[in-house]
Amino acid sequence: MIYKIIKNTRFFVLIITICTLLNSCGAYNFTGTGKIDAASFQVNYFLNNAELVEPGIERTFTNKLQELIQNQTSLNLTNTNADLLYEGEITDYRISPMTATADQTAAQNRLYISVMVRFSNKKNPEDDFEKTFSHFYDFPANDQLVGGKLNTALDEIYDRITQDVFNASLAKW
Mean pLDDT of 118-137: 95
Question: Hey, how many other C-beta atoms are within 10 angstroms of the C-beta on 82?
Answer: 21
User: Which pLDDT value is given to residue 60?
Assistant: 95
User: How far apart (Å, rounded) are the C-alpha atoms in residues 127 and 32?
Assistant: 17
For residue 47, is pLDDT > 80? yes
The answer to pTM > 0.85 is no
- How many alpha carbons fall within 13 Å on the CB side of residue 5? 2
User: How far apart (Å, rounded) are the C-alpha atoms in residues 133 and 91?
Assistant: 10
Quick one: pLDDT band at residue 29, thresholds 50, 70, 90? very low
3-state secondary structure of 50: coil
Mean pLDDT of 54-76: 95
For residue 24, is pLDDT > 50? no
